Structure 1
Amino acid sequence: MTTGVPTPVTGAGPFRLAWQRRRRSAVRFWAGYRTHRAGLVGLAALTLFAVVALTAPLTVGSDVAGATDAPGQPMESPSGEFPLGTDRFGRDLLGLLVWGSRVSLLVGLLAAVLSVAIGTLVGVTAGHFKGWYATVLMRVTDWFLVMPTLVLAIALATVMSRSLGTVILAIGVTSWPTTARLVRAQTLAVESRPYIERAKALGGGHGHVMSRHVLPNVMPLVLAQATLMVSSAILAEATLAFLGLGDPTVVSWGGLLQEAREAGAVSSGDWWYLVPPGIAIAAVALAFTLCGRAVESVLNPRLGVDR
């Protein structure tokens, strides 16, 4: 017998509903992202770099950096055996370039995550609490903004031990102010909305308001800023390695440029020692920038970024 009462849908719990909303959001995001040709080019390039980095132990081996059993003669020009020539120790530069992609991408990603995390924490708390707390945080942020980031990173890397952790820390703790400023402005805009007042009136504390209402609304900005920060972090890592402040026990693109400088590749015209690492750094930085601009345009259509 039909009573006219709708039968409740089984299995539609809160977790399933949340997953469905996230899935629809991801589909909408991809539909918007794939309309950006430059963003697709950047994504394809990053996919290629990621595959090359992940498969490096299989394609070039884990002992490519060993100088004791180098397969070639020092500073050989490109040939069939060594497509990119050899370095000053006789090592295959193509293998070093492939292996160096792992370090450069890893340092760039981790440094960008650290920088964006610090900037998000400072920006959200400064925008929420206001008063003297926000004033102090913003004055510290302004101080970091007026100081050259590279100089601060060099100073920090100089006084600490030479390791990948030091490079990541030096880049991360000196490049967060821009993110903090952007996140604070977005937090102030979110805090002015009526539902924030209702949440506070219903007893929502500071942690509830920041984690459940403010942070989800600033995450699109944080995501776009993170993709843009990776390219800056990779360039900063290459600069520190070129100045001799990186980890001497690992191979990176910046480290290859530093070794080329020490070997006198510039004065002797050994272009194969300089050009490939430089092109790799420029290409991956450009790819992350293209992806970041596309993500920023999709998440904030008002920007009107060219496609």
Structure 2
Amino acid sequence: MSVTNPSETVALATPDAPASAPASTRRPRRGLLRGILGNRKAAFGACVLLLFGVVALAAPLLAPGNPSLITAIASQPPSLEHLFGTTAKGQDVLALTMHGARTSLLVGFVVGAAATLVGLLVGVASAYFGRVIDDLLSLVTNVFLLIPGLPLLVILAAFLPPGIGTVVVVLIITGWAGSARVLRSQALSIRSKDFVAAAVVTGEHPLRIMFREILPNMASIVMSTFLACVIFGIGAQAGLEFLGLGDASVVSWGTNLYWASNDGALFTGAWWAFVPSGLCIALVAFALAMVNYAVDEVTNPRLRTTKKGRTRA
């Protein structure tokens, strides 16, 4: 019977320990995209978003000309000539819906990217530096979180000149605080890890630690925050424009709902004037929510365990 020397066991295990820790931290980042692409919810959401993106890009080819021009008899129901009917002014609803997708999707993704970036910078800087910087940034974040969102949106949109740029700026100002709070909490938990402490001890630059050590380990939460901010941007823009606080001359899903309300489409029974734009907003938000849930499902071990348990049952 052979007896293993304890010193040999320690010697064999010691070289493997440092190599396994970085591998465990890199494995979620490397397999994140692969897991999301293989998820059915993410595939469904991505197909819906791709469809809307293709329609938005091809809108000038599918419906050439100015969609706001009067081209038919007013208040006509859907037919072979006008698939989505016409508005009370005689505009083609299908053309308005396709051209409106360009503006609404552009504003939503720009607001989502900008709000996530601001929240990421504030959250990571607050968690890494701590002390005075953390107190100041947390104070500013709390102020924006305590102010009611809708009244602030209405006040800013009412006093600033109307336009797409104004809507984007207003939504970024009112939408970054929530993402900053979520990302700060995640960055605080990563800040206490051993590999971050080792980077600090070796004298690495704070920016390199934040962007090379902390940020890559926050990929899943950053993606989820971005998708939530895009949903907020599309819905908030439609809400502002429905209230008449946007530029009514710009074609978007929100202005389509605004003009349908002004023309009394709901009271006259012209459901085709407002259902397409409202349904598009709901479908895009649902698709983004499905992708967001898929990201959470791939990166959350509890959800993976529950799914495996249901499959076995």
Offset at residue 294 of structure 1 (A): 0.8
Match of 2:180 in 1: 180
Q: Are the counterparts in 1 of residues 74 and 90 from structure 2 also a CA contact under 8 Å?
A: yes
TM-score by length of 1: 0.86
Tell me which moved more, 139-148 or 278-287: 139-148
Letter in 1 for 2:294: A
- Provide Cα deviations, 1:210-251, integer angstroms capped at 9, x if missing partner: 122122222331112101221121111100110111222210
Tell me which moved more, 30-39 or 121-130: 30-39
Offset at residue 150 of structure 1 (A): 2.4
Match of 1:170 in 2: 170
Match of 1:12 in 2: none
Offset at residue 174 of structure 1 (A): 0.6
Offset at residue 25 of structure 1 (A): 5.8
Is 1:227 matched up with 2:227? yes
Q: Percent identity?
A: 37
Match of 1:92 in 2: 92
Match of 2:280 in 1: 280
Match of 1:259 in 2: 259
Offset at residue 124 of structure 1 (A): 0.5
- d(CA) in 2 for partners of 1:38, 1:306: 16
Match of 2:290 in 1: 290
- d(CA) in 2 for partners of 1:256, 1:209: 47
Offset at residue 156 of structure 1 (A): 1.3
Letter in 2 for 1:180: A
Letter in 2 for 1:120: L
Q: Structure 1 pair 30/192, CA: closer, same or farther in 2 (3 Å)?
A: closer
Match of 1:74 in 2: 74
Q: 1:114-133 counterparts in 2 under 5 A?
A: 114-133=114-133
Q: Structure 1 pair 142/297, CA: closer, same or farther in 2 (3 Å)?
A: same
Q: 1:39-50 counterparts in 2 under 5 A?
A: 39-50=42-53
Question: Gaps (5+ residues) in structure 2?
Answer: 1-25, 308-313
- Provide Cα deviations, 1:165-194, integer angstroms capped at 9, x if missing partner: 111111111111221111111111111112
- Provide Cα deviations, 1:97-130, integer angstroms capped at 9, x if missing partner: 1110111100000011111111111101110111
Match of 2:63 in 1: 60
Q: Structure 1 pair 157/217, CA: closer, same or farther in 2 (3 Å)?
A: same
Q: Are the counterparts in 1 of residues 29 and 217 from structure 2 also a CA contact under 8 Å?
A: no
Q: Are the counterparts in 2 of residues 144 and 177 from structure 1 also a CA contact under 8 Å?
A: yes
Q: Are the counterparts in 1 of residues 29 and 219 from structure 2 also a CA contact under 8 Å?
A: no
Q: Are the counterparts in 2 of residues 122 and 180 from structure 1 also a CA contact under 8 Å?
A: yes
Root mean square deviation, CA, Å: 2.0
Is 1:204 matched up with 2:204? yes
Offset at residue 31 of structure 1 (A): 3.6
Q: Structure 1 pair 169/31, CA: closer, same or farther in 2 (3 Å)?
A: same
Q: Structure 1 pair 266/99, CA: closer, same or farther in 2 (3 Å)?
A: same
- d(CA) in 1 for partners of 2:218, 2:49: 25
Letter in 2 for 1:229: C
Offset at residue 38 of structure 1 (A): 2.2
Could you list the runs of 4 or more consecutive aligned residues of structure 1 that deviate by over 3 angstroms after TM superposition? Answer: 28-31, 299-307
SS in 2 for 1:256: helix
Offset at residue 35 of structure 1 (A): 4.2
Higher helix share: 2
- Provide Cα deviations, 1:268-294, integer angstroms capped at 9, x if missing partner: 111111211111111111111111111
Q: Are the counterparts in 2 of residues 294 and 305 from structure 1 also a CA contact under 8 Å?
A: no
Letter in 1 for 2:127: G
Letter in 2 for 1:63: N
Match of 2:39 in 1: 36
SS in 2 for 1:176: helix
Q: Are the counterparts in 1 of residues 29 and 216 from structure 2 also a CA contact under 8 Å?
A: no
